Each structure stands twice: as structure tokens, then as C-alpha cells.
């Protein structure tokens, strides 16, 4: 099952100074051969966050962040997933459990992963708040832990 990396995982993978860089590198080493994916949303968030001067003392320009992303995406097991699913359609099965604005991006990305038959790779447990523990969708979430 191919993994859709959420933006935090993608940033940690590509940014050596990230607090979870080593953790994500270990996970990626074990799992990347199964295939991994990005989408326009995760790529745009990568560039937005990494090029923000508040992110790092050595934040690159947006162009430099795009170049860094392009290098990461050359990995042989990477696949690009287009955002070909509307938001409402993607979150239909979670709609009643969404209670906060911070859940919307995770819900969309999980919906996209489900649509593509993949798994969403995340660093935090926040996504689990809108999934029932026994729901079939929970097996489509990979929590990258220490």
C-alpha cells in the first residue's frame, strides 16, 4: 500500500534540521519501497512552510524550497497524486466527526489516500480524533512514532 506523506512528514524527510528528521528517515528507509506519494496540497505546504523565515534561521527562498522538493521527488518510489477529489467528497465519511478547523486538511488527505487505495503517513495523533478506533479507515493511517 502506497503512503501519502502529509506535509509535516514531507518536511521532516527533506529538512535535516527538523526535530523528527531522524525518525522519519528511519521510517522512510523501512517503508519507501512500498511506494510513497505527494499531491499538490502537500507540495505547496512544503514550500510555504520551509520558505517561511520563521521556520528556520536558514530558510530558503520559495524557489530554493521548490528545488529542494524537486530533488526529493526524484526518488524512484515516489508517485504524484493529483488533487482530483473535491473536499466534500473526500471527507464524506468523516463529516459528522469533524469538530475543529485543524482537522480539515488531515481529513482531506486521508480521503485522498482512501480514494487512491493508499495510507496517510502522519507524525501526530490529531487525525485519530475523527476516526473511530475500530473504523476500517483507521488502517489507512500510519502514525510514525519513535
pLDDT 10s digits, 78-100: 999 999 999 999 999 888 888 88
3-state helix, strand, coil in the chain (%, to 5): 55, 10, 35
Q: What is the pLDDT of residues 19-72, one digit of tens each?
A: 999 999 999 999 999 999 999 999 999 999 999 999 888 899 999 999 999 999
The pLDDT of residue 122: 97
Please give the radius of gyration of the chain, using alpha carbons only, rounded to the nearest integer. 15
Distance of CA 64 to the CA centre of its chain: 20
Q: How far apart are CA 130 and CA 133, in angstroms?
A: 9
pLDDT value of residue 125 = 85
36: domain CATH number is 3.40.50.1010
Domain extent for 40: 3-143
Q: How many domains does the chain have?
A: 1
Question: What pLDDT is attached to residue 146?
Answer: 66
| Rounded (5°) CA angle 83-36-131 | 70
Q: Which of 38, 8, 50 is nearest to 144 (CA)?
A: 8
User: Cell 496517510 appears where?
Assistant: 120
The answer to whether 35 and 79 are in contact (CB under 8 A) is yes
Half-sphere exposure (Cβ direction) of 88: Cα atoms closer than 13 Å? 0
* Closest by Cα among 45, 47, 12, 46 to 28: 12
Is 131 in contact with 109 (CB distance < 8 Å)? no
pTM of the model: 0.93
Amino acid at each position: 500500500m502506497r503512503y501519502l506523506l502529509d506535509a509535516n512528514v514531507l518536511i521532516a524527510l527533506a529538512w535535516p534540521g527538523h526535530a523528527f528528521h531522524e525518525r522519519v528517515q528511519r521510517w522512510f528507509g523501512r517503508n519507501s519501497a512500498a511506494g510513497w506519494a505527494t499531491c499538490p496540497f502537500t507540495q505547496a505546504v512544503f514550500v510555504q512552510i520551509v520558505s517561511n523565515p520563521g521556520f528556520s534561521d536558514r530558510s530558503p527562498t520559495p524557489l530554493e524550497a521548490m528545488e529542494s522538493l524537486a530533488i526529493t521527488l526524484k526518488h524512484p518510489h515516489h508517485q504524484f497524486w493529483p488533487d482530483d477529489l473535491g473536499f466534500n467528497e473526500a471527507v464524506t465519511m468523516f463529516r459528522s466527526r469533524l469538530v475543529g478547523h485543524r482537522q480539515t486538511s488531515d481529513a482531506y488527505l486521508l480521503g485522498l489516500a482512501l480514494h487512491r487505495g493508499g495510507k496517510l503517513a502522519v507524525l501526530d495523533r490529531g487525525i485519530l480524533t475523527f476516526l473511530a478506533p475500530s473504523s476500517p479507515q483507521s488502517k489507512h493511517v500510519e502514525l510514525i512514532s519513535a
